[in-house]
Homo-oligomer: A and B are copies of this chain.
Amino acid sequence: MAKDKKLVESITSMQEDFAQWYTDVVKKAELIDYASVKGCMVIKPAGYALWENIQHELDRRFKATGVQNVYMPMFIPESLLNKEKDHVEGFAPEVAWVTHGGQNELQERLCVRPTSETLFCDFYKNDIQSYRDLPKVYNQWCSVVRWEKETRPFLRSREFLWQEGHTAHATAQEAQERTEQMLNVYADFCEEVLAIPVIRGQKTEKEKFAGAEATYTIEALMHDGKALQSGTSHNFGDGFAKAFGIQYTDKNNQLQYIYQTSWGLSTRIIGAIIMVHGDDSGLVLPPKIAPVQVMVVPIQQQKPGVLEKAKQICSSLEGRFRVKADDTDKSPGWKFAEQEMRGIPVRIELGPKDLEKGQCVLVRRDTREKYETALDEVVDKLAELLDTVQKDMFARAKAHLDSHISDAADYEAFKEALDKNPGFIRGMWCGDQACEDKIKEETAATSRCMPFEQTRISDVCVCCGRPAKKLVFWGKAY
């Protein structure tokens, strides 16, 4: 059992080195492995099961709003990528180019999709003719490629998995409504399922998506005080429609341009789950998203009846909960460490003494509190406990978020807050990109969003002192 000690000792503490802690957890919880191509990752069963649960839950919420899934090709001809000026400028520097098919050089090189606006536009151009064809509310689950220089598992990789929704509407208003609707789907999903509280707001011109009229974002706060953009929703207006010539005939037989949106959420969100909830023993998963919610661990399993009872409890919980029993020949201590590393929300311990008393012990992963529970009450207590864990995890994350939001009226206060209480700084902004640039250069903080709930905490810009236009959440970000 030399390996036993190693597991516990194998991860760096958050306090010591947060970045290293993150990398350690990702590896030791067996979420990913590195691949032979630099910056790409192998998503292992424990990581992929998380993504499957995320997909399942999000897809259900999408479909409830009328979304239909489709699949677009992964290749974009260079000429197609070039059609919308801002878009190509934003993406061309970081795409992978296919130049050969088999032995032959291609006549036109193809990029591997970094995002699929241009493909959907090309499709909509033929598919949409009349107002009867609108709206189109399409989505795809796929992988995309962005040739990043610096990469980190889940947070920034050359290939990642995501969903990208692409919609087409008859009116600007409908497009705006859909843009906000999907942002709210993301926000509700994060808060209700992942127990991650988020700030909802609009990106500034500088930070918006290449080709968008407006970008909306949900921003989450990690344990180290850095922000993570966790999902975005873009209103394109009729910009892409004009660049691609996508028109429909309205009820009065007039040609009109369509209005479009897109919205995406990626495997990056797994990084958020790790950095919002994790601790020095590894992952801590919210029950609603955990691939395994309960691990039954027999103690002194060689004693008569223990293993049988453990398996019996496991069987009785199946169907109602996602449950497993660890009947390997590892020591209980090793099993505990493993279950904790993997973030399994509740452990059920059962030994000979428990058997005598007709009980078992439920142990929460998040607080490690233990509850002696009569065997005939396990189902009810467990349901209650998982519910409590989910709520408590959200409450703790919310308390962390709230206590890491500082208000700053001037630049000195801004810098001090960033230094003393890393997190979001609420500061007024004049609307000039020069101030965003200056703040970024001098403090490494960026404008995260202009929150939907605007209040006026000062009359002047936190950077330049000129009249303020907008309240902005600032922060260092992943």
Q: Which residue of B lies closest to A77 (CB)?
A: B36
Could you say which of A140-148, A205-213, A437-445 contacts chain B? A140-148
> Are B71's CB and A48's CB within 8 A?
yes
Is A96 in contact with chain B by the CB < 8 A criterion? yes
B159 touches A36 (CB 8 A): no
> C-beta contact mask, A281-311 vs B, less than 8 Å → 1, else 0?
0000000000000000000000000000000
CB within 8 Å of B: which of A68-122?
A: 68-77, 80, 92-103, 109-110, 112, 119, 122
Copies assembled: 2
Residue pair A37, B147 in contact (C-beta under 8 Å) = no
Q: Provided the pairs A37-B77, A101-B96 are in contact, do residues A44 and B70 lie with their beta carbons within 8 angstroms?
A: yes
Provide the residues of chain B in CB contact with A159, threshold 8 Å.
Answer: 73-75
> Are B98 and A70 touching (Cβ within 8 A)?
no
Q: Is the CB of B102 within 8 A of A93?
A: yes
Query: Given A43-B71, A52-B69, A75-B159, A101–B37 Cβ distance below 8 Å?
Result: no
Which A29-74 residues have C-beta < 8 A from chain B?
A: 33, 35-37, 40-45, 48-49, 51-52, 68-74
Q: Are B33 and A123 in contact (CB under 8 A)?
A: yes
What does the 1/0 interface line of A125-164 toward B look like (CB < 8 Å)? 0110000000000100011010100000000001101000
Q: Is the CB of B74 within 8 A of A143?
A: yes
Cα separation A96 to B284 with both chains bound (whole Å): 41
Instruction: Report Cα–Cα, A101/B99, bound state, in Å.
Output: 11
Closest 10 CB pairs of A and B: A40-B73, A101-B147, A45-B68, A43-B71, A97-B100, A35-B73, A102-B147, A99-B99, A37-B75, A96-B98
Kindly list chain B residues whose C-beta atoms are within 8 Å of the C-beta of A100. 96-97, 99, 109
**Chain B hits for A138, CB < 8 A:** 45
Check B72 against A127 for contact (C-beta < 8 Å): no
Tally of contact residues, A, Cβ under 8 A: 53
- Max chain B C-beta neighbours (<10 A), residue from A36, A145, A161: A36
Q: Which of chain B's residues has its CB closest to A67's CB?
A: B45
- A161–B141 Cα gap in the complex (Å)? 12
CB contact under 8 A between A70 and B96, given known A101-B147, A127-B33: no
Contact A69 B48, CB 8 Å, known A112-B112, A143-B142, A147-B102? yes
| Residues on B with beta carbons closer than 8 Å to the beta carbon of A161 | 71
CB-CB under 8 A from A102, the residues of chain B are: 92-95, 147
Residue from the list B42, B97, B122 in contact with A71, Cβ < 8 A: B42
Return A13 CB to nearest CB of chain B, in Å.
Answer: 26
Closest to A145 in B: B74
User: 23 A-B pairs, CB-CB below 8 angstroms?
Assistant: A33-B127, A36-B77, A36-B80, A36-B119, A36-B122, A37-B75, A37-B77, A37-B110, A40-B75, A42-B73, A45-B68, A45-B70, A52-B69, A71-B161, A74-B143, A92-B102, A93-B103, A94-B102, A95-B101, A96-B100, A96-B101, A97-B99, A101-B147
User: In the complex, which residues of chain B have a beta carbon less than 8 angstroms from the beta carbon of A48?
Assistant: 68-71
Candidates B68, B93, B97, B143; contact of A98 at CB < 8 Å? B97
* A226 CB to nearest chain B CB (Å): 26
In the bound complex, CA of A103 to CA of B109 (Å)? 13
Which residue on chain B has the smallest CB distance to residue A123? B42
Q: CB-CB < 8 A to A94: which residues of B?
A: 101-102
Select from chain B the residue with minimum beta-carbon distance to A120.
Answer: B42
Hey, which chain B residues are within 8 Å of A80, CB to CB?
Answer: 36
In whole Å, how far is A91's beta carbon from the nearest beta carbon of chain B?
10
| Chain B minimum-CB-distance residue to A107 | B38
- Residue of B whose beta carbon sits closest to that of A267: B71
